[in-house]
Structures are given as C-alpha cells and as structure tokens.
Chains A and B, each alone.
Chain A
Amino acid sequence: MNILLCCAAGMSTSLLVTKMEKAAEEQGVEGKIWAVPANQINLHVDDADVLLLGPQVRFLLPKMKTLGEEKNIPVEAINPVHYGMCDGAEVLKTAINLVNKK
C-alpha cells in the first residue's frame, strides 16, 4: 500500500513519515510512505493508494478530494492530535482504514 502525505513544504510531515514507516515495519505492512509539498502533488498522486493531508493545509481538502475522485483514491485530513504527537501507528491505521473502506 502506498501512502502519500502532503503538507505545505513537506517538512514537518516527513517527520511523521519516519514514524509511520517504523509502525508499518512492525505491523508488516508493505509499501511506500512519503511526503511532498502541496504544489507537487500532481507529480506523485498517480503512485498513491491513499492521500492524507496535514491539518495545516486542510483548506486544500475540497481541491484534493476532487483530485482523489479523478484518481479513484481516498483523500482525508490527518487528525491534528495524531499529527502533532507524530503518532505514526494511528495515522497508519487511518490510512489502512480508508483504503479498506473504498
């Protein structure tokens, strides 16, 4: 499963990525997890099975949801508390649930 995260500069989210990768490894979830700035989303969205937005760019959610519908992948904003505490396991769970629900 490929999980794409997106925030303003892709920086703070990259911190979350390392935690999610660790959680994924522990749970045996295969796939790629990576973070990009919002303006580069078009270059990456085709490789993703699910797109998660950092809470600070959740004003882009409507735009990204349209994109998600085009590409047929779920799009959601990350829970702010999970994001702030860098809770990789919880965010991974959100991503997996979104993909399974589809």
Chain B
Amino acid sequence: MSKFNSFLEEKVMPVAAKIGGQRHLLALRDGLIATMPFIVIGSIFLIIANFPIPGYADWMTSIFGPSWAVKLSYPVDATFNIMSIIAAFAVAYRLAESYKLDAMSAGTISIAAFLLTTPFSFTFTPADAEGVLVTGAISKAFLSSKGLFVALLFAILSTEIYRWVVKKDIVIKMPAGVPPSVGKSFASLIPGLFVLVTVWVIRLLVEMTPYESINDLVTIVLGDPLKMVGLTLGGTIVAELFVTVLWSTGLHGTNIVKSVMEPIWFGAMGDNMTAYQAGEPLPHIVTQQFWDNFIHIGGTGVTFGLVLSMVLFAKSKQMKNLGRLALGPGIFNINEPLIFGMPIVLNPIMILPFVLTSIVTVIVTFIGMDMGLVAKPVGIAVPWTMPPIISGYLASGGHISGAVMNVVNILISFLIYTPFFKIYDRAKKREEDAMNTGGKEHIA
C-alpha cells in the first residue's frame, strides 16, 4: 500500500502540479470562468422561456402576446451567444496578467484579433429560395460556442505576439512630459498592429484554401476531433479517472482536468443550448453540466452516498463527527471535509470506492442518456453548487428523468461506499477503543 502511495506522491503529483500550474492552461480556465456568470444569467431566461409545464406556452401567449419567447431570448443572445467574445478578452487578460504585461491592452487586442478571424457576412437561405449573401453582419453562431475554440486559440496567439513585441522593445516611447496613461495607450499600438497584421495574413491564407473561414478550419481540424474524443464514453471515463486519481493525492483533480477539458465541455454545453433553443435534438451527452449536475453529486467521487452512509452507520466518534460536519457542505456538492478529513487522500481503502463509484456513475448516466431513458443536459447552466435532484431536474430542462438520474447515482454511491466505509469505520473504532483502554491493543 505504501508503494501505491509513493507512486501517487512521486509520479502523479509532479505531473499534476505542472499541468495545474501551467500558465496557458490556467489562463484558459480562468478566462472561461469569466463567461460563467453571463451563461448562468442567460440560463435563467432560457428556463423561463422553456418552462416544462403543459399549457405554459399558451398561457404566456395569452398574457404577453405571441412574441414573448423571442423577447425572452434577447438576454440569452447577449450572454450565451457572445461567450466567445468574453472568453477572447478574459483569456488574453489573464495570460497577460501572468506575464505582468498590460492586461487590458492584451484583452482588447484579443477581441479585435478574434473578430478579425470572423467573416462579417454570411449566406442566408430563405425557405424555398436561393441563398443570399448578407454582408455587414456577423452570424451570432461565430460568437457563441461555435467560435469558442477560435477565440481561445487566438487569445493565446495574440497575447504571445504581444509579449514578443514588448520583449523586443518595439514600442513607442513617450517623452517624459506626457501623462502615463496616454503613453500606455500609444504603447499598445505597435503590439496591436503586429497582432492584427499576423491574424489578417492568416485569414488571407485560409481564404485561399477550401476552408471558407478560420472558424471552419479550426472547427474541422481541431474542434470536431477533440469533441469526438473528449465527449465519448471512453474519453469521459479517462477524464474522470484522472479527476479521481488526482483527488486521491489531495490535488484539485476537477480543476486540473478542467483546464484541459473545459473548452470542449463548454463548447458542448453551448452546442446543446443552441439546439435546445431551436427545438432540435441535442447533439451531446457530455457537457459541463454532465459533470457538475449529474456526476459530481455531493462533490467529486459522488460522495453524497458516502455522507449518508456515515450519518446512518458511523460507530467511531471520529466518523460520526465528520459525517455531521460533511452533510451540510455535501448538500451543496462540497466535499473537502471528506477528502482531507476522513481522509480519502492517500487512503487506499477509501480511494477504491472513490474511483469505482465515479466510473460506475459515469457509465450508467452516459448509457441512460444515450438510450433516451434520461434527458440529456440541455445547455442550461446550473451552478455546480446546486443541490442534487433539483440540479438534475433543471439541467435536463425540467425533466423528471434528470432528477431520477440523480437519485439513482446517489443510490449507486451509497451501495458502493457503504461496505468500504464500514471496514474503515470499524478500524477507527478499534483505534479509539484501544486508546481508551490505554493503547494495549493499538492498531495503527
């Protein structure tokens, strides 16, 4: 067992630390987090527009007139459907900040760079008619989740060019008398020019290829293959394995894996939302909400069932206390008290059910959704701290099957954890008894 622990400590930890602390990945994750408040606000309107009660739509029409749903979608468009612009700014901002560069300039340049990749025209095909090229307008698809990969890629590219120019010291220096902020705005001219010229040339080159836009190229060459791998059952199991093994060493596995996978999960969430709004079948099972609201119930490792088991069965004083302490946070999917207090970290008897429960729930949930027994997450962003059952109901767009899936996963978790917990609890109890009788039969 100590071999296993030293493997985790020596082999897994340093790699995880590298990924978790990697500058670009951190910037991606922190930048994407900046889009989250807007997505949640947009989701509220999305829920109101699609309330799953029979007769609701007719009732709304009778009060607000036939265009109520369209009006409710205004805020959705200005939040969900511009998430790529926000990400373009925020990722560049965070990356520049980590280089100690002027984050505001880097962020604004990144927005321009992103829009420079984007065609300001699109082909509109009316029903029963030839397609018409509409110019002077950006298709909102490019600014929504469909543009996310481009936004992220060019945020990093533009900030790296920015850094290179600043490092080469190709900046306009202002005379001493000029107010500093004037100087700063001029100083960003040169890096901005370098960035935009580079992106412009890239766009011209891409337009010479069969790909119509940078967005098409990135989607076909990078986005689709990544989604294909990352959103399958296999990819999902591998991701969850990493999450749980990292947590087993005490590192924030969710955060570390997210920094790699989040662009994919966010993109999938946006794709589903677009389809949901249009009333089309949902393309993905695995989205951000698949994790937040279906798998990590009670926290990573689906520990909600473990908490129940502790509250019901704990015999040792330590586990009784911890169970009470962990119940409150657990309802809101926070389980650090268990991870570090029990602990699950570096504790082989608890790591086993921790990993096993996660994988089993991933498989059951995925298959349930794939077979159509359970509603897929519709793209409504439900915060990860939303208590289970409510969260599954909301994330699935108000389907009872979403809530039922939560209950099933809690049951799975309870069944897998309980025998392991009982063994661990007995050992703890013996330890406590031994201490009380003067340590005669001390068991370490």
Interface residues of A (CB under 8 A from B): 7-8, 11-12, 15, 39, 42, 54-60, 62-63, 80-81, 83-86
Contact = CB atoms under 8 A, between A and B. Distances in A.
Given A84-B340, A86-B325, 12 more contacts: A11-B334, A12-B336, A55-B340, A56-B250, A56-B255, A57-B20, A58-B251, A81-B341, A81-B343, A83-B340, A84-B322, A84-B343
Contacts of B340: 55-56, 80-81, 83-85
Interface string B12-26: 010011001100001
A32 B353 CA distance: 39
A59 B97 contact: no
A80 B343 contact: yes
15 contacts: A7-B252, A11-B334, A12-B335, A12-B336, A12-B337, A56-B252, A56-B340, A57-B20, A58-B251, A59-B251, A84-B322, A84-B338, A84-B342, A85-B325, A85-B337
Interface of B: 13, 16-17, 20-21, 26, 30, 33, 94, 97, 247, 250-252, 254-256, 322, 325, 329, 332, 334-343, 345, 385
A84 B97 contact: no
A55 B340 CA distance: 8
A8 B30 CA distance: 11
Contact of B251 (A11, A56, A84, A86): A56
A59 B342 contact: no
Contacts of A63: 21
B20 A84 contact: no
B181 to A, nearest CB: 20
Contact of A11 (B247, B255, B325, B385): B385
Contact of B33 (A12, A39, A62): A39
Contacts, number: 78
A39 B336 contact: no
Which among A15, A39, A54 has the greatest number of chain B C-beta atoms within 10 A? A39
Which among B20, B33, B256 has the greatest number of chain A C-beta atoms within 10 A? B20
Nearest to B16: A59
A57 B252 contact: yes
B262 to A, nearest CB: 13
B94 A39 contact: yes
A59 B341 contact: no
A60 B341 contact: no
A59 B21 contact: yes
A80 B252 contact: no
Contacts of B33: 39
Contacts of A56: 247, 250-252, 255, 336, 339-340
B21 A8 contact: no
A84 B20 CA distance: 21
Contact of A8 (B16, B94, B252): B252
A86 B385 contact: no
B242 to A, nearest CB: 14
Contacts of A85: 322, 325, 337, 340-341
Contacts of B247: 56
A84 B339 contact: yes
B30 A39 contact: yes
A63 B26 CA distance: 12
B336 A83 contact: yes
B98 to A, nearest CB: 9
A41 to B, nearest CB: 11
Contacts of B339: 56, 84
A11 B322 CA distance: 18
A80 B250 contact: yes
The 10 closest A-B pairs by CB, nearest first: A84-B341, A84-B340, A59-B17, A12-B336, A56-B252, A59-B20, A80-B340, A39-B30, A85-B341, A8-B252
B339 to A, nearest CB: 7
A75 B340 CA distance: 20
